[in-house]
Structure 1
Amino acid sequence: MIHDVLPRTARRSRARRASRILLALTATAALLGVDAPDTVAGPPLGVTAWAPPGAAADRVGALFAQGLDGGHFCTAAVVRSDDRDVIATAAHCLESPDTTVFAPGYRDGRAPYGLWRLTGVYVAPEWTEGQDPDADIAFATVAPVDGGRTGRVEDLVGGFPVAAEQPAGARVTVIGYPRTLEAPLRCANSTGLLSPTQRRIGCPDLSGGTSGSPWLVDGALAGVLGGHEGGGTVPEISYSAVMGDRAVELYRRAAVDG
């Protein structure tokens, strides 16, 4: 699919090869559990359809410029974190974090769980310095736009655990918002590796705006739509950078330290 959002310099993260060891720490291990909504039931593999409201779709939302009147341009999803305030998206979706807002569960012009502004951005230096497609996974912390709202976004909709190092042929469910639609689409299919660092999926109609959409394996985040060719140049084939050590370290920083 065609994407036209360009990156900007954001907070840098030191990538550590020891991230798998860090994941063994108690705080982070609790975030990587398998208690997740079922995302397998639905249309046949390779068929794109409307994503019905429910535990999985409500954790996914659209990213808007300024507010609902600004139009949505990317997709993001809530993931588990200590402070219950972290979302995952593509790094190339975070061009303007100061004016970007997140609307989980967005449908038909309504934001049932409110709007959430970005309070911190976690992007790998390989992306900010060179737009490395293998680093096109990012995380951000969020807070309510409405200062009177209490609670955290994960308290409202739950959060996906993170599942790194998935097998080459893993079955993935993608949920995302094309720019021209006002409700999310869903497609599941088996995947393959374009390279050791890039995963591909065949799903029609995942057009511009679905960048940042979560790639879910058994209900856990295993990537986001982006990476190679910005996620793909045609709506039938999409890509995600593999969720490896670099992305896991960003997640750990956002989820535990953020």
Structure 2
Amino acid sequence: MLPRPAHRARTRRASRILLALAAMAALVSVDLPDAAAVPPLGVTAEAGSDRAADRVGALFAGALDGGHFCTAAVVHSDDRNVIATAAHCLDDPDTTVFAPGYRDGEAPYGVWKLTGVHVAPDWTDERDPDQDIAFATVAPADGGTGRIEDVVGGFPVATEQPDDVTVTVLGYPAADEAPLRCANTTGLLSETQRRIDCPDLSGGTSGSPWLADGAVAGVLGGYEGGGTDPDVSYSAVMGDQALELYREAAVSAG
């Protein structure tokens, strides 16, 4: 038998390598988000189901049939039971429940009642828009003993962000049954208020987390309750007071 030409052997080896790389890429792509599915900056679209969206949920009045009116997100704590939202979303904590990952009438990760609320004194006394950030502890509404962070995970909390940080907002307009997602670079309205240009973030998105590199760096609220124009939204700057509230909630979460 004559020896196989070297160039033909090299061609076949190259083909096998390319096929192997293609197979590996196909396997990896199963766990990675489709880049084409992520909207460009400043564009609002329905959020897909992923780990970040699962940690964000809608706040309801009493039960799922009570209508959702605000948004909240699970944040990390040692006792794994803390959510972040806007202070103005917690006026009726005794009748408010949280459904993380809510979509199309379903609460795949259960319904959670509020067991404690942490808001700044200046919000309680004066409804200061610079203090429109709050944290709450939760427990299963059915009386169980589960921990919400064990179910969906939790975002870290980040302060001292640059003025022009790029954030992703995830929130539930009251008229929609799935969350919306929009990312854009923020700017400062003032030293204590941050703004973002994202269309269609209408009523119900108050309390939506502003995620900077996967950490909660603000919540939709503050100036004008988060904004009267659905295309421009605001958040109080996450500062020392918000960090203290977060620590208080984390300590009392047990």
TM-score, normalised relative to structure 2: 0.85
The residue number in structure 2 matching 1:234 is 229
1:144 aligns with 2:128: no
Residue in structure 2 matching 1:125, options 121, 124, 139: 121
In structure 1, the partner of 2:71 is 75
Q: 1:16-51 deviations in whole A, cap 9, x for unaligned?
A: xxxxxxxxxxxxxxxxxxxxxx99x62100000011
SS state at 2:225 partner: helix
2:110 paired with 1:114: yes
1:88 partner letter = A
1:257 Cα deviation after fit: 3.6
Q: Report the Cα offset of residue 151 of structure 1.
A: 1.9
How far is the alpha carbon of 1:82 from its aligned partner? 1.1
- Does residue 163 (structure 1) correspond to residue 162 (structure 2)? The answer is no
Give the secondary structure class of the aligned counterpart of 1:126.
Answer: helix
Structure 2 distance, partners of 1:166, 1:126, is: 23
Structure with a larger share of its residues in helix = 2
Q: How does 1:1-258 map to 2 (within 5 A)?
A: 42-147=38-143, 149-258=144-253
Q: CA deviation at 1:185?
A: 0.1
Unaligned 5+ segments in structure 2 are: 1-31
Consecutive unaligned residues in structure 1, runs of 5 or more: 1-37
Partner Cα distance (1:103, 1:187) in 2: 21
Which residue number in structure 2 is paired with residue 3 of structure 1? none
- Aligned equivalents of 2:126, 2:45: Cα separation in 1: 35
2: CA distance between counterparts of 1:207 and 1:81?
30
Query: What is the distance in 2 between the residues matched to 1:256 and 1:188?
Result: 32
User: 1:162 and 1:114 mapped to 2: Cα distance?
Assistant: 23
Match of 1:194, SS? strand
Q: What secondary structure does 2:125 align onto?
A: helix
Shift of 1:136: 0.0
Over the matched positions of the two proteins, sequence identity in percent amounts to: 77
Answer whether contact 2:139 2:146 (CA < 8 A) is retained: no
Q: Return the letter of the residue paired with 1:214.
A: P
TM-score scaled by length of structure 1: 0.83
CA contact (8 A) 2:139 2:145 kept: no
Structural RMSD (CA): 1.4
1:185 partner letter: L
